[in-house]
Amino acid sequence: MIKAVRGFKDILPGESEKWVYIETLARKFFQTYGFREIRIPILEKTELFARSIGETTDIVEKEMYTFLDRHKESLTLRPEATAGICRAVIENGLYAKAKVLKLFTIGPMFRHERPQKGRLRQFHQLNAEVFGSEAPGTDAEIITLAMDILKVGGAEDLRLEINSLGCSRCRPAFRKALQEFLMGLRDRLCEDCRRRAERNPLRALDCKREECQALYTQAPLIKDYWCEECRKHFERVLEFLEIQGLSYQINQRLVRGLDYYVRTTFEIKAKGLGAQDTVAAGGRYDGLLKALGGPDIPGIGFAIGVERFLLVAKLPQDLIPPLDLYVVALGEEAYRRLLPLVHELRQEGLSVEIDHEGRSLKAQLKQANKLKARFALIVGENELKQGEALWRDMETGTQESLPLASLLSELKARLG
């Protein structure tokens, strides 16, 4: 027997309805906030992710699914969506079509990590991106959107952690101070952090090793190096969050695992996920479009992990809608008579099932109950002779006769 690849999971009936519910909920909020859908390829040139995410990040160094195609071009299954959306915005000139461009996408991402609760090698995200606005209100709006989706989806005990990573003007001084701090601890750091201390000091702060994190409690803080513009921007973001009734915790150690973030960066954590408790995260990436060959347009976005969201969501008990009608055809003649009727009702948008196996009345009614049919229509030899069909209420068990001559119009009226 061939089994699924480790870290790649089937989404089976019974579970898939939950996914549809969450995706529908997200689409509703995306529409409410003025976002439009974009669908991007799952396969991109490796260079796109190396240039955007950063060559010294865990994602690029350890986690990407990368291979050479037949023409020896390096391709990668997307580990995140922002870089691909930026590429699409640049390639298709979408930035010229609106002063502020709001886009969302829903789909799978791929990272070669150790599978665990809420973390798979093929995982799914709800992504929202805004291009063209550097206003603090946009930062607050994107965070509010993520919180709205999670809260209405039933996630409880949410905690918003937020920080500002400064900008290209104030970050170099912080980078230098952090690098000096890390080099002073070099012999006590893990191999990855020693390498990052030289090439990309901020990435060291994202280390997952507890031993390293314990050393970083005395590391320099970015807030001590903010320029006045970054300080005011962050203060305004917090003010607008407060106006909308959102509580937050400032986390000065929050840097996220991608190099393209500047200024606002945030994580939303949920109770019940264990150590990997981040269910949504995002931030501002002004300068990313320019770095990828596009115009110098600011951007900000977030991603919600669908698998983790489902672990903490409070969903309706029964997401499978009841069947409108189960058609019981007893005998070949009745089956031929009712088949076009079923097709007509389905074209009207009604959910209708008919048995194709010629099973007994008892077996078909049992199946109708299993499918939670509201009503059943029964036609056999006797009904054909009498020119009628039996209409059965599956909840009460009551039956009545309907004329075959006007059956279609009668059913439309009763089921409509």
pLDDT in tens, 4-40: 999 999 999 989 999 999 999 999 999 999 999 999 9
As beta bridge partners, residue 268 has: 160, 280
Share of residues in the chain with pLDDT > 90 (%): 72
- 384: pLDDT confidence band, cut at 50, 70 and 90? very high
Q: Which of 348, 355, 400 is nearest to 373 (CA)?
A: 355
Helix (H, G, I), strand (E, B) or coil at 25: helix
Residue 43 has pLDDT above 90, yes or no: yes
Distance CA 403, CA 125 (A): 52
Interacting residues of 261 by C-beta distance below 8 A, sequence separation 6+: 165, 255, 283, 284, 285
User: Mean pLDDT throughout 346-366?
Assistant: 95
User: Mean pLDDT throughout 101-110?
Assistant: 97
Which pLDDT score is estimated for 125?
97
**240 vs 186: which has the higher pLDDT:** 240
Domains of the chain: 16-170+226-312 (3.30.930.10), 325-415 (3.40.50.800)
Distance CA 141, CA 138 (A): 5
CA distances from residue 138 to 58, 279, 301, 308 in whole angstroms, order as listed = 29, 21, 10, 25
Distance CA 237, CA 123 (A): 30
Where is average pLDDT lowest: 96-105, 185-194, 327-336?
185-194
Where is average pLDDT lowest: 50-64, 165-179, 308-322, 366-380?
50-64
Which pLDDT score is estimated for 82?
96
As beta bridge partners, residue 377 has: 327, 391
pLDDT in tens, 191-209: 888 888 888 888 788 777 8
Where is average pLDDT lowest: 54-58, 87-91, 113-117, 377-381?
54-58
Distance CA 400, CA 380 (A): 15
Angle, alpha carbons 360-364-366 (nearest 5°):
120
Q: Which of 160, 156, 123, 158 is nearest to 314 (CA)?
A: 156
**299 vs 208: which has the higher pLDDT:** 299
Distance CA 134, CA 343 (A): 53
Distance CA 378, CA 388 (A): 9
**216 vs 361: which has the higher pLDDT:** 361
Which pLDDT score is estimated for 257?
62
User: 253: exposed, middle or buried (C-beta count within 10 Å: 0-12, 13-18, 19+)?
Assistant: middle
Beta strands in 363-415 (DSSP E): 375-379, 388-393, 399-403
pLDDT in tens, 156-165: 889 999 999 9
**211 vs 334: which has the higher pLDDT:** 334
Entry field: residues in the chain? 416
The rounded mean pLDDT for the chain is: 92
- 320: pLDDT confidence band, cut at 50, 70 and 90? confident
Distance CA 274, CA 272 (A): 6
What are the contacts of 290-294 at 24+ separation with CB within 8 A? 291/51, 291/52, 291/260, 292/48, 292/51, 292/52, 292/83, 292/86, 292/87, 292/90, 293/90, 294/86, 294/89, 294/90, 294/95
| DSSP single-letter state for residue 218 | G
- 56: pLDDT confidence band, cut at 50, 70 and 90? low
pLDDT in tens, 248-296: 999 988 877 667 889 999 999 998 777 678 999 999 999 999 999 999 9
